[in-house]
């Protein structure tokens, strides 16, 4: 439990200060109130943050853990205000702690829980805020938070798998760039001086790489500047809607990654839509919320068209089928769900199936990328080595 350093007063001016361990700020206030004091100031003792800690973002794992703990506390019958106070005192990231502090203050002023979350869009996702609004209106906030916890836990697991799959290829890519740069900047210039002192005609490949090596040595600062500006440019472009639309369209056409991308989008759609419908959110509103959850601008655009067709009274399965994105199995399950009136249940089951499909697709993609990167690395490094060895062979043959 956190240790609070506090200062309190009575109406007659008597002051009380102290340092003591409490489960939450609410417990501290209750203890002081029983003694006739009201709290003036309170701080958690010994809580220091490094510069790195201040920069830490609130990620999917933090949100899933928050939802899980919040649902447990609510099920125990603890009021929302006190529940937030307890969670605020437990989180480690300063950004999240400060956010929950503000949420707690707003709740004490009588604001709705969903409106306090809405004030922090960079911390709490829109999907979560919409679900909380439904939970408040229906009185099922505890069960909604359990559903959100499961949703974000699966999303976090999916993201970790994708990052894990890309880690090894990225390491190989960085290693290849490092080795080639070392050969071109350090080894090849030294080797070129030796060859030039021996005389003889150099092969075309060697001349080309020597020219590249000479350019790299003389313009290293310029090259680093171009790479840095390129990185900044890509970061700026990634926030541009037109570029994002083009990039997301490309991912759905790329031969190697298309299957994996489609399965990820399908699993995300089935899981999200299943939770939204099960929570009682109308189908049209669910479609609007889905636009920000799919992670692909092209699919989101097609989803808007699909929503318009549903608003006109057309069937959900037919409208989604016209998108030409989702696999036949999902369309079939939606048809069954529409016919039986259990669309939310069918989507939830389908999400579980495609979660397994995503794992298998990621494993296959990783199995393809790793040897491909090794081959590319071998070809690039081998080309540089060959450029150095060919003139040596030629010189040795001349000597003989």
CATH number of the domain that residue 324 is part of: 1.20.81.30
218 belongs to a structural domain: no
Q: Which of 155, 177, 204 is the last residue of a domain?
A: 155
In this predicted structure, what is the pLDDT of residue 42?
A: 66
- 100 and 140 in a single domain? The answer is yes
206 belongs to a structural domain: no
232 belongs to a structural domain: no
- 67 and 98 in a single domain? The answer is yes
- 33 and 128 in a single domain? The answer is no
- 293 and 273 in a single domain? The answer is yes
89 belongs to a structural domain: yes
For the chain, give the number of residues.
Answer: 400
Please state, for a pLDDT cut of 90, what percent of the chain lies above it: 2
379 belongs to a structural domain: no
The string of pLDDT tens digits covering residues 161-183 is 888 878 888 888 888 888 888 88
Evaluate whether 157 touches 267 at the Cβ level (below 8 Å): no
- 20 and 101 in a single domain? The answer is no
In this predicted structure, what is the pLDDT of residue 186?
A: 82
Smallest Cα–Cα separation from 256: which of 375, 332, 364, 183? 364
- 144 and 41 in a single domain? The answer is no
168 belongs to a structural domain: no
The string of pLDDT tens digits covering residues 64-90 is 889 988 988 888 888 899 999 888 888
- CA max distance for the chain: 109
pLDDT classification of 31: cutoffs 50, 70, 90: confident
The 3-state secondary structure of 140-182 reads CHHHHHHHHHHHHHHHHHHHHHHHHHHHHHHHHHHHHHHHHHH
Task: Work out the average pLDDT over 228-244.
Answer: 86
Say if residue 47's pLDDT is above 70. Answer: no
- Domain residues for 64? 58-155
Q: What residues form DSSP beta bridges with 46?
A: none
The string of pLDDT tens digits covering residues 96-144 is 888 899 899 889 888 888 888 888 888 888 888 888 888 888 888 888 8
Rounded distance, CA 126 to CA 118, Å? 8
Please state the domain count of the chain. Answer: 3
- 79 and 136 in a single domain? The answer is yes
239 belongs to a structural domain: no
- 262 and 344 in a single domain? The answer is yes
- 86 and 27 in a single domain? The answer is no
- Classify 312 as helix, strand or coil: coil
pLDDT classification of 54: cutoffs 50, 70, 90: very low
């Amino acid at each position: 439990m956190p240790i609070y350093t506090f200062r309190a007063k009575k109406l007659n001016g008597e002051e009380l200060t102290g340092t003591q361990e409490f489960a939450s700020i609410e417990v501290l206030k209750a203890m002081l109130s029983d003694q006739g004091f009201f709290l003036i100031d309170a701080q958690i003792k010994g809580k220091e943050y490094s510069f790195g800690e201040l920069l830490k973002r609130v990620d999917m794992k933090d949100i899933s853990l928050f939802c899980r703990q919040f649902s447990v506390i609510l099920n125990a019958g603890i009021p929302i205000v006190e529940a937030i106070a307890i969670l605020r005192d437990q989180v480690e990231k300063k950004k999240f702690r400060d956010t929950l502090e503000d949420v707690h203050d707003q709740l004490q002023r009588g604001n709705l829980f969903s409106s306090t979350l809405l004030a922090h869009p960079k911390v709490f996702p829109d999907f979560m805020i919409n679900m909380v609004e439904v939970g408040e209106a229906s009185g099922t906030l505890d069960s909604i938070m359990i559903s959100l916890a499961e949703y974000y836990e699966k999303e976090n697991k999916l993201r970790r798998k994708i990052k894990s799959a890309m880690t090894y290829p990225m390491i190989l890519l960085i290693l290849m760039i490092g080795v080639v740069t070392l050969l071109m900047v350090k080894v090849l210039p030294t080797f070129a001086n030796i060859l030039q002192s021996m005389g003889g005609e150099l092969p075309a490949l060697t001349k080309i790489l020597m020219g590249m090596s000479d350019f790299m040595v003389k313009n290293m600062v310029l090259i680093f500047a171009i790479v840095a500006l390129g990185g900044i440019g890509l970061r700026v472009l990634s926030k541009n809607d037109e570029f994002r639309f083009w990039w997301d369209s490309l991912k759905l056409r790329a031969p190697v990654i298309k299957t994996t991308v489609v399965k990820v989008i399908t699993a995300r759609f089935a899981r999200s839509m299943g939770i939204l419908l099960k929570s009682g959110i109308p189908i049209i509103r669910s479609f609007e919320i889905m636009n920000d959850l799919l992670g692909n601008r092209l699919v989101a655009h097609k989803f808007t068209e699909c929503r318009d067709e549903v608003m006109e009274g057309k069937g959900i399965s037919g409208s989604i089928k016209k998108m030409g994105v989702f696999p036949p199995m999902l369309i079939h399950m939606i048809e069954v769900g529409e016919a039986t009136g259990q669309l939310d249940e069918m989507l939830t089951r389908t999400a579980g199936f495609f979660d397994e499909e995503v794992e298998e697709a990621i494993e296959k993609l990783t199995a393809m990328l790793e040897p491909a990167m090794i081959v590319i690395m071998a070809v690039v490094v081998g080309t540089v080595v060959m450029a150095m060895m060919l003139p040596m062979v030629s010189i040795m043959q001349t000597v003989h």
